[in-house]
């Protein structure tokens, strides 16, 4: 069977640095940081009081999602809806001219509607079983963002939601890519959404001892990917959704093409439910799969957007995985983590970071790894420290790794 070409024609993000694409991109390149002291609820009793909140002044959804509809959504689905609608607007695609049975959505979440669950549980305890909202299940279910986006645009092709922790978006985009590649669909919205910054969500990650605890008084310095003084990730929230389109369809309508998805590699570590394989074996296999499917050599890749969470073990494992995969070329390929600026938005991170990878390719500028202040001799790659860099990117890779040992690597090329 002849494989069909798949291109990315639309990008939509909701992040702590904003949700308007140009503003978000300029802030990212300027080295701005969206991590702050949390304000959504009282965090005085928490060992971690910082995170990547979505600030109301930087979340513009009133013009694209009605107030009544928004009230029926948990925040994660609201973010996913906003990012999905923005991606469609950015692509300029008109679904009324297409066969909607061949257009679909795969947008997942690592956690789903945890805030809705907390709200309704508290209400049940305080006021009784009969006061639980009938919207509870439609709000909290992990497929709420995907289902609502399909309804928004009347897309009746493949519609589903992935849930592979922090690899969620990567798996969603890979599944959407394969759906188009093998002729099941022509257009797919794909990515992830997350809003786990809640009382229980933050407490649970604090209990896991995975979060940075050393910079409550300087939140903008807390996330330090690959820096020797890193001490854990900074929890964040948001959404990232891209429009994937069959190449001939995109070309026929004169669409702007950010890049072509040429391969997706996915593997499992099969070693621990939260910790990565310390040697990066599973991550390396995912990257190798992508290179093999694309039939390119490691030295043809000009940029890697790393998972780069700012955890001691995770950053080292990813560095080792790059060495395993790229060999002698590892020291020459630029690798940056944008989680220094955005924090870690869990299941949404891969969608946001693929959008960033597309923008880097489109504009010829690599975003920096901010807060890279103390080189770690064990993390010895080119991490594009602290300043953006001009680059002619022909091939780029975006990595996402998740609890449970999930690894995804998406390879794109300049169209």
Q: What is the pLDDT of residue 167?
A: 98
pLDDT of 1 higher than 80: no
Q: How many helices (H) and strands (E) does the chain have?
A: 13, 14
Report yes or no: 278 and 315 within 8 Å, Cβ to Cβ. Answer: no
Residue 1 lies in a domain: no
Q: Considering the chain, what percentage of its residues have pLDDT values greater than 70? A: 100
Set 166, 264, 358, 379: catalytic member: 166
What pTM value is reported for the model?
A: 0.98
Q: What is the pLDDT of residue 373?
A: 96
Active site residue 307: yes
CB-facing half-sphere around the CA of 366: CA atoms within 13 A: 29
Note whether 103 and 213 are same-domain residues.
Answer: yes
Note whether 101 and 203 are same-domain residues.
Answer: yes
Set 344, 358, 379, 406: catalytic member: 344
Q: Which residues of 263-286 are buried (b: 16+ CB within 10 A; e: fewer)?
A: bbbbbebeeeeeebbeebbbbbbb
- Give me the domain span that covers residue 211: 7-252
Report yes or no: 167 and 401 within 8 Å, Cβ to Cβ. Answer: yes
Instruction: Quickly state the pLDDT bin for 415 (edges 50, 70, 90).
Output: confident
Tens-place pLDDT, residues 314-338: 999 999 999 999 999 999 999 999 9
The dihedral of CA 169, 173, 178, 180: what is its sign?
positive
Note whether 202 and 341 are same-domain residues.
Answer: no
Note whether 176 and 280 are same-domain residues.
Answer: no
Q: What is the pLDDT of residue 214?
A: 82
Q: At which of 252, 273, 303 does a domain end?
A: 252
User: Of 128, 118, 194, nearest to 162 (Cα)?
Assistant: 194
Q: What is the pLDDT of residue 215?
A: 79
Q: At which of 252, 272, 298 does a domain end?
A: 252
Q: What is the pLDDT of residue 325?
A: 98
Set 302, 307, 362, 406: catalytic member: 307
Q: Can you tell me the mean pLDDT for 172-200?
A: 98
Active site residue 344: yes
Tens-place pLDDT, residues 33-42: 999 999 999 9
Joined tokens for residue 265: 């590699």
Instruction: Quickly state the pLDDT bin for 270 (edges 50, 70, 90).
Output: very high
Instruction: Report how far apart, in Å, the C-alpha atoms of 3 and of each of 153, 158, 179, 263 are.
Output: 27, 18, 11, 11
Residue 205 lies in a domain: yes
Task: Please state the domain count of the chain.
Answer: 2
Dist. CA 203–CA 90, nearest whole Å: 37
Note whether 83 and 222 are same-domain residues.
Answer: yes
Note whether 246 and 288 are same-domain residues.
Answer: no
Instruction: Quickly state the pLDDT bin for 282 (edges 50, 70, 90).
Output: very high
Instruction: Quickly state the pLDDT bin for 357 (edges 50, 70, 90).
Output: very high
């Amino acid at each position: 069977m002849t494989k069909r070409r798949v291109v990315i024609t639309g990008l939509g993000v909701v992040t702590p640095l904003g949700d308007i694409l140009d503003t978000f991109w300029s802030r990212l390149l300027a080295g701005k940081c969206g991590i702050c002291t949390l304000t959504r609820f009282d965090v005085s009793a928490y060992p971690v009081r910082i995170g990547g909140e979505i600030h109301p002044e930087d979340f513009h959804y009133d013009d694209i999602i009605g107030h009544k509809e928004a009230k029926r959504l948990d925040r994660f689905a609201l973010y996913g809806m906003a990012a999905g609608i923005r991606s469609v607007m950015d692509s300029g695609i008109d679904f009324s001219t297409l066969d909607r049975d061949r257009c679909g959505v795969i947008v997942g979440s690592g956690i789903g509607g945890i805030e809705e669950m907390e709200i309704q549980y508290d209400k049940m305890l305080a006021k009784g079983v009969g006061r639980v909202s009938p919207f509870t299940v439609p709000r909290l279910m992990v497929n709420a963002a995907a289902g609502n986006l399909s309804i928004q645009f009347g897309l009746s092709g493949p519609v589903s939601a992935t849930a592979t922790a922090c690899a969620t978006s990567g798996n969603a985009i890979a599944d959407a890519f394969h759906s188009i590649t093998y002729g099941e669909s022509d257009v797919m919205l794909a990515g992830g959404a997350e809003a786990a910054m809640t009382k229980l969500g933050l407490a649970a990650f604090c209990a896991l001892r995975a979060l940075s605890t050393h910079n409550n008084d300087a939140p903008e310095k807390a996330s330090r990917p690959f820096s020797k003084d890193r001490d854990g990730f900074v929890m964040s929230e948001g959404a990232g959704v891209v429009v994937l389109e069959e190449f001939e369809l995109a070309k026929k309508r004169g669409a702007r093409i950010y890049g072509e998805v040429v391969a997706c590699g996915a593997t499992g570590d099969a070693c621990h439910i939260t910790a990565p394989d310390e040697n990066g074996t599973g991550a390396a296999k995912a990257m190798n799969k992508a290179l093999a499917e694309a039939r390119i050599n490691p030295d043809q890749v000009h940029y890697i957007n790393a998972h780069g969470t700012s955890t001691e073990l995770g950053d080292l494992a990813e560095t080792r995985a790059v060495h395993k995969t790229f060999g002698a070329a590892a020291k020459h390929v630029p690798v940056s983590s944008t989680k220094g600026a955005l924090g870690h938005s869990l299941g949404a991170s891969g969608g946001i970071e693929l959008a960033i990878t597309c923008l880097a390719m489109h504009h010829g500028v690599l975003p920096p790894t901010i807060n890279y202040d103390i080189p770690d001799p064990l993390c010895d790659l080119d991490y594009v420290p602290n300043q953006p860099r001009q680059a002619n990117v022909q091939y780029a890779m975006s990595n996402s790794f998740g609890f449970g040992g999930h690894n995804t690597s998406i390879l794109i090329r300049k169209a």
